[in-house]
């Protein structure tokens, strides 16, 4: 009789845990969609670039498009086919030295990006999600070759774009 009681108790605990997890809205990251059910497709135009970093607007838009295409929760389409648009603005890209080899020679620099991003419905312009000061930084190495240093900075910016795109994606879909 004790074996059956133990199995029943275990089953009750498992069912209780399942109900609690389901009740909390838990889902696998990238598969949850808390947007209104009629939003099936989005448009992501190039970001507005308020910085001197040429091409950054394309890097950030492409990273966000990639993130939504990867998750397959919403379809990325043209404006005419979309129910919502995700608009982004690169407010700033700042570079500062982090460590020095000497008083005048930096070894590492930090690039910090600040974005303004919103997701709004196209039918009534209602804002579904926004973050007016989304930021991230990434360190990169300074070398004696200016071209290599520039490539390192660009790679750091691409990494920031990937990281922020994931945060934007999850913020929009999971309401974080």
More confident residue, 56 or 15: 56
List of residues 6+ apart from 55 with CB closer than 8 A: none
Q: Using a pLDDT cut of 90, give the percent of the chain over it.
A: 74
To the nearest 10°, report the CA torsion of 160, 132, 42, 78: -80
Question: Residue 115 has what pLDDT?
Answer: 98
Classified as helix, coil or strand, 40 is coil
Residue 88, domain extent: 32-174
- Is 2 a member of any domain? no
- Residue 77 CA to residue 62 CA, distance in Å, equals 13
Confidence band (pLDDT; 50, 70, 90) for 106?
confident
**CATH number, position 155:** 3.30.160.150
- Residue 135 CA to residue 94 CA, distance in Å, equals 11
Question: Residue 101 has what pLDDT?
Answer: 84
- Alpha-carbon Rg for the chain, nearest whole angstrom, is 22
Split into its structural domains, the chain has a count of 1
Residue 99 near residue 106 (C-beta atoms within 8 A): yes
Question: Residue 11 has what pLDDT?
Answer: 42
- Is 1 a member of any domain? no
- Output the six-digit token pair for 89: 């603005």
Backbone angles phi, psi at 130, to 5 degrees: -160, 155
- Residue 131 CA to residue 116 CA, distance in Å, equals 6
Backbone angles phi, psi at 120, to 5 degrees: -135, 150
pLDDT mean over 8-15: 43
Confidence band (pLDDT; 50, 70, 90) for 6?
low
In angstroms, what CA-CA distances link 18 with 11, 30, 33?
A: 11, 20, 20
Q: pLDDT for 23-70, tens place per residue?
A: 444 444 445 688 999 999 999 999 999 999 999 999 999 999 999 999
- Is 104 a member of any domain? yes
Closest CA to 56 of 66, 46, 42, 65: 46
In the predicted model, is pLDDT for residue 169 greater than 60? yes
- Is 116 a member of any domain? yes
- Is 4 a member of any domain? no
More confident residue, 26 or 151: 151
Question: Residue 119 has what pLDDT?
Answer: 97
Provide the whole-model pTM: 0.79
Question: Residue 100 has what pLDDT?
Answer: 86
Question: Residue 5 has what pLDDT?
Answer: 56
């Amino acid at each position: 009789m004790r074996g059956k009681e133990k199995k029943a108790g275990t089953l009750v605990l498992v069912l209780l845990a399942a109900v609690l997890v389901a009740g909390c809205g838990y889902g696998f990251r990238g598969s949850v969609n808390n947007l209104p059910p009629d939003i099936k497709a989005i448009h992501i135009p190039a970001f507005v670039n308020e910085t001197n970093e040429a091409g950054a607007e394309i890097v950030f838009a492409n990273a966000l498009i990639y993130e939504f295409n990867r998750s397959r929760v919403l379809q990325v389409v043209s404006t005419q086919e979309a129910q919502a648009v995700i608009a982004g603005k690169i407010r700033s890209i700042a570079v500062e030295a982090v460590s020095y080899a000497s008083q005048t020679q930096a070894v590492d620099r930090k690039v910090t990006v600040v974005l303004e991003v919103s997701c709004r419905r196209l039918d009534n312009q209602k804002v579904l999600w926004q973050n007016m000061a989304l930021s991230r930084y990434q360190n990169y190495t300074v070398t004696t070759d200016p071209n290599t240093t520039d490539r390192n900075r660009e790679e750091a910016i691409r990494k920031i774009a990937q990281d922020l795109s994931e945060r934007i994606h999850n913020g929009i879909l999971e309401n974080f």
